[in-house]
Amino acid sequence: MRVIGTSGHVDHGKSTLVEKLSGMNPDRLAEEQSRQMTIDLGFAWMRLDNGETVGIVDVPGHRDFIENMLAGVGGIDAALLVVAADEGIMPQTREHLAILRLLDVKDIIVVISKVDLIDDPDWIELVRLDIEEAFAQQQLPTPPMVEVSAHSGQGLDHLIGTLQGVLRGAPRRVDYGQPRLPIDRVFVVGGFGTVVTGTLAGGSLSTGDSVELQPRGIGGRIRGLQRYKQAVESAAPGSRVAVNIAGISSDQVQRGDMLASPGQLRPSAMVDAQYVQLADAGRPLEHNAEVKFFCGAAESMAKVRLLAAEQLHPGEEGWLQIRLRDALPLARGDRYILRFPSPAQTIGGGVIVDARPRRRLKRFGAGLVQDLELRLRGSPAERLARSADGKMPVKLSALQASLGYSDEEVQSALREALELGLVKQVDASSFWSTDSWQKLADRALAQLRAFHSAQPLRLGMPRAQLRSRLDVKLSLLDHFVAADERIAAEGNLLRLQDHEVVFDDAQRAKIDQLMRLLQEQPYTPPSIDEMNDMVGEDVARGLLDLRRLVNVNDRIAFASADYDLMVSEIRQKIRADGEIDAKTLRDRFGTSRKYAIALLEHLDSLGITQRVGDVRKRGRNM
């Protein structure tokens, strides 16, 4: 399905032409028909000779209704720019042409209408030259021009053939699995309820689908679909569609809202954007200027921050961070238009490179323009890596949504990004830019170096402590530690590979004294506080980290060999007899009840044993 737009001066016969092509009068308002002037968007459709149905959006030509025009041209595949032979190209037609250029509508056919009123071929030639000049001023190639008379029917077959040829060469709309319906019309049908219309993009919609109305986030369900007055079960991207919604009332919807899959879109109050100031804009765009922002069928007042200039003069390009008064459902790659509110004038537009920037960008920042250029013009792999840049890894589905890639395109971009080392795979479905990964590595290494410097007798930093310092999820830290050869894991401790605990001569002498005492009374050792007094708290902590000592609670620790022997015999006793109690353990090792209970409670906490009444039986981790 394709959609075309018709635009031109109010007196150039657009609506009459549309009626001749489609058999439908697009002017649906009584005022439009009485004044013979398109005020709001009109809709029709026609069937080409090849059997394809083409939707038609007829937009207002009068300067007073230019903002209504903007609501209708966002989703078109081609445009018919109507110029009356008896008047030539008019100022508002030039403004329409500028808007089409800013919206990147490449396929434009100029329809020279009312040729039946002109007998002089030289006059028609002058009109053609004016049209060529207007296109050249917008840096657009000379378009196909077709002379027609809607009154007599002259040239209509030629126009249909030209349109068919243009659409044949235009790229088809891709189904990215992310349907977006910018709403340009809302009404109520008796017995059915709320109906909205728009030009579908990004994905398909089907009867029964759950949908979400943005920017308000209201949920609903598709009760029915129509495409060109025919009930259908599903609608593909690129077609005009009417959606009957259950669960959303008509007073909750307005032009400019967006219908999408639940959770697919979030409203944006600020965007980063590439911008072109029109050559015929009346004055420069100033930093912090107030403008009207138009995207799709939506609009909002806004303030613009110029990121790399103090002013943008007519014909210049630049970069903006646009702060919207009203949050709108926007996405990367959306085309937008800016107008001065007073006096009303279209001044420029461009493309959104980030619909949800993470921060307020610093003007004239080092590398700022290069980063923005990458986001706009980088390869698919580079752009995917940029989208995967941030505090946390990103799901592939979220990357696809932010980039607007099809399944095939996102897989191709991902393969290339992985091959080039631009991204790293974190788990089965999450990816992170190599830059973000490196930033985490730099911070982690710095934290470990600082820890080793402050506590050289500690084997490593507790994993939970490093996770907290880095403010990342434990699963990400675990993946990172496993992948980075510069970091070693010692149980629950993390250290740099080249770090080792080294005791000096005086400390080793104290350690030898402690170990002799533990050999003399292995199962009734001194308390941890007493050990701290003997060797120093930092040395005792180091011995625990090195597992020369094993603590069973915050008061009791055994030498590791003695601890291992007791645990081994407890396992053997339970395997042989099915259970063990504190008295048996006490008697076997000549210890006291205090130590026996402490050890058994410690093993309970590890799942090696489990308490059942007064005995211990096999635990889940035995």
Q: Please give the residue that has the higher pLDDT: either 404 or 47.
A: 47
Provide the pLDDT for residue 615: 93
**DSSP character for 575?**
H
pLDDT per position as a tens digit, 292-340: 999 988 899 999 999 999 999 999 999 999 999 999 999 888 899 999 9
DSSP 3-state assignment of 154?
Answer: coil
Q: What is the DSSP string of 357-383?
A: -SSPPPTT-TTHHHHHHHHHHS-HHHH
Phi, psi (deg, nearest 5) at residue 257: -70, 165
pLDDT per position as a tens digit, 402-433: 787 778 888 999 999 999 999 999 988 899 99
Phi, psi (deg, nearest 5) at residue 502: -125, 120
pLDDT per position as a tens digit, 188-215: 988 888 999 988 988 899 999 999 999 9
- Buried/exposed 422-442: b ≥16 CB within 10 Å, e otherwise: bbbebeeebbbbbebbeebee
Q: Please give the residue that has the higher pLDDT: either 91 or 494.
A: 494
Half-sphere exposure in the Cβ direction for 544 (13 Å, CA):
23
Q: Closest by alpha carbon to 68, among 22, 21, 29?
A: 29
How far apart CA 9 and CA 95 sit, in angstroms, is 10
Residue 62 has pLDDT above 60, yes or no: no
How far apart CA 243 and CA 327 sit, in angstroms, is 24
Which pair of structure tokens corresponds to residue 435? 């830059």
Model pTM score: 0.67
How many residues can be counted in the chain?
622
Q: How far is CA 392 from the centre of its chain?
A: 13
pLDDT band at 38 (very low <50, low <70, confident <90, very high): very low
Q: How far is CA 115 from the centre of its chain?
A: 50
Quick count: other Cβ atoms within 10 Å of Cβ 87? 15
Q: Closest by alpha carbon to 16, among 45, 39, 36, 40?
A: 36
Torsion 467-469-471-472 (CA) sign: negative
The secondary structure element, H or E, covering residue 613 is none
Window from 95-99, 373-377, 577-581 with minimum mean pLDDT: 373-377
DSSP 3-state assignment of 181?
Answer: strand
Q: Closest by alpha carbon to 257, among 222, 223, 213, 292?
A: 213
Q: Closest by alpha carbon to 443, among 471, 482, 479?
A: 471
